[in-house]
A and B are shown apart, each in its own frame.
Chain A
């Protein structure tokens, strides 16, 4: 699989299984691991880095019974724009994208799995899944972890578990995140209080487009803070409990909005669809907020049906890297805003197969 496959496809395999949940967008599991006997990436030499890469490559490529088909990409060979797109797709971290020499990534064709090598830790296994599939995604990530452990000896201690560069990951090395669309809680200004509550429960809340973008498109990522002193299953269960509670709150906030101001709400959501369909210049902020409104409108049954996967694809496409990839050249921000509008219109006017079956969001109230 060459890199173009991963750069042009805004609708990777893992995003295709819809499960009717229109509040939970996706689940992500990350396992941090290091190889015993080699220093961590922040203090190792280039030779040691190469040694780590060779070990991971041998484990992933040389053995016949490996059930996964990974493609391998060293970061140093990638132009800036390609790195940016992989960050926008959450396949690599911004941290890895900045590297000049060291670091690489292994990705499966459907992009459900990616393994970053020599990022902050030697190995970071990631599993992405559509909708709320915390335990399932964890099992899949753990399978790869078990597979690697047969060929690689991890840095592990009875007392502290999996040893990681940053002590915020030590123990299980597990970070589980769920991405949620919470427009009603955002518009009714309940998010700040909720974020505080979740922080007290040991969760971290962030915007999807990285730090400092908390409100963009009303999409939030909730993940566990604690990795040591709790078992994997407890960590996942606690995250699930918090997420389910937030979903309940979002649902009741939606209901309340519908009762209190139905026509204002319908007007606002319809206007957003109009903007997406007819605007000629769209900043990423405006596009994100209109997409959020349209997603809400579709799920409340106030707007014409658009599939979740189509909306997810649009959310990826509005990012600067994708637009420039689509146009095939680097663009000034003002030019991007014009192409963004065009790209969204093309996407939204395409035939939507899953909707033609007469399906609608099951979560509509």
Chain B
């Protein structure tokens, strides 16, 4: 038998690994085997990935619920409209494909998150994205009004609207670049 790594020298070292409860035996020559110690950085070879581990773990359900989920997923295999992911694919890889997956699989999520998280609701710092979106929208509307005011030659109103826009813009960009 030749070495499974260099494929040149005869294999005389047997390496036994346990991956996901399955015994895997590999045969190497002494020279290649010496390289397989914990510090070795093997980019080409995928280690037992934490992803796989997590996905196995998330897959672990009591028999009855597994059945239910199977039935549920078989009945209607919903694909995420943005990235095309199915819930089954998600369980396999342990990762979502896009932010919309959280909407698409909203029904299955609480059950999943309860197992791996402390709750199903975010209680940390709140992101201001929504209000920024709102402000930007507000600015757009004000701009239109400003145009109308200028066309109608209501310059006093126009000045007021302009100041208002500036104020909102400074909120969005906190005094940074002054343009949209």
Contact = CB atoms under 8 A, between A and B. Distances in A.
Interface of A: 34, 36, 38-40, 42-43, 63, 65, 80, 83-84, 87, 94, 97-98, 120, 142, 149-150, 153-168, 170-172, 174, 202, 209, 211-213, 216, 226-232, 235, 283-285, 319-321, 333-334
A43 B98 contact: yes
21 contacts: A39-B83, A39-B97, A42-B93, A43-B85, A80-B43, A153-B129, A154-B127, A156-B129, A158-B130, A167-B58, A167-B113, A170-B122, A202-B118, A216-B39, A228-B119, A228-B122, A229-B113, A229-B117, A231-B125, A283-B37, A333-B35
Given A150-B173, A150-B176, A172-B124, A284 B39 contact: yes
Contact of B129 (A65, A154, A319): A154
A198 B92 CA distance: 28
A230 B118 contact: yes
Given A83-B43, A161-B127, A284-B37, 13 more contacts: A34-B99, A42-B95, A149-B127, A150-B173, A157-B99, A158-B122, A163-B99, A168-B54, A168-B116, A174-B124, A227-B117, A319-B39, A320-B39
A328 B48 CA distance: 31
Contacts of B132: 153
Contacts of B84: 43
Interface string B49-72: 011001000100000000000000
B101 to A, nearest CB: 8
Interface residues of B, number: 51
Given A42-B97, A166-B95, A209-B38, A226 B117 contact: yes
Nearest to B57: A168
Contact of B122 (A84, A94, A160): A160
A283 B35 CA distance: 11
Mostly helix, strand, loop or mixed at chain B's interface?
loop
B110 to A, nearest CB: 10
A320 B40 contact: yes
B41 A228 contact: no
A39 B122 contact: no
Interface of B: 34-35, 37-41, 43, 47-48, 50-51, 54, 58, 82-85, 93-99, 102, 109, 112-113, 116-130, 132-133, 173-177
Contacts of A154: 127, 129
A98 B125 CA distance: 33
B102 A160 contact: yes
A120 B95 contact: yes
B7 to A, nearest CB: 18
A162 B127 contact: yes
